[in-house]
Amino acid sequence: MGTLGGKIGFLAGLASSFVVSVPMVQLFAGPCFFEEGCGAGENLSLILAAAASLAVGCFVGLIVRWVVNKVAQPKP
């Protein structure tokens, strides 16, 4: 069925990827995205921002999963 850490880590990764999505768009596309559009490079910058948000979410989810599984392990 999965571990408790896996379930909590999935939710933490999902939440963190949504939280960092706007800063990633600002990082890769810059202020032009929110003002008038970036022209030809807009699609590439949005793909890079989505990939970076996914990478951050995966990293956070794996770290939370590892920590929760370590803490929640039954002691012998």
Of residues 33 and 62, more confidently modeled: 62
- The predicted pLDDT at position 16 comes to 96
Overall domain count for the chain: 1
39-62 confidence digits (pLDDT tens):
777 788 889 999 999 999 999 999
- Give the range of the structural domain holding residue 15, as residue numbers without chain letter: 4-72
Residue 51: HSE in the Cβ half-sphere, 13 Å Cα cutoff: 7
Beta carbons of 62 and 9 less than 8 angstroms apart: yes
CA-based nearest residue to 43, from 25, 20, 56: 25
- State the chain's mean pLDDT as an integer: 87
Is the pLDDT confidence value at 19 over 80? yes
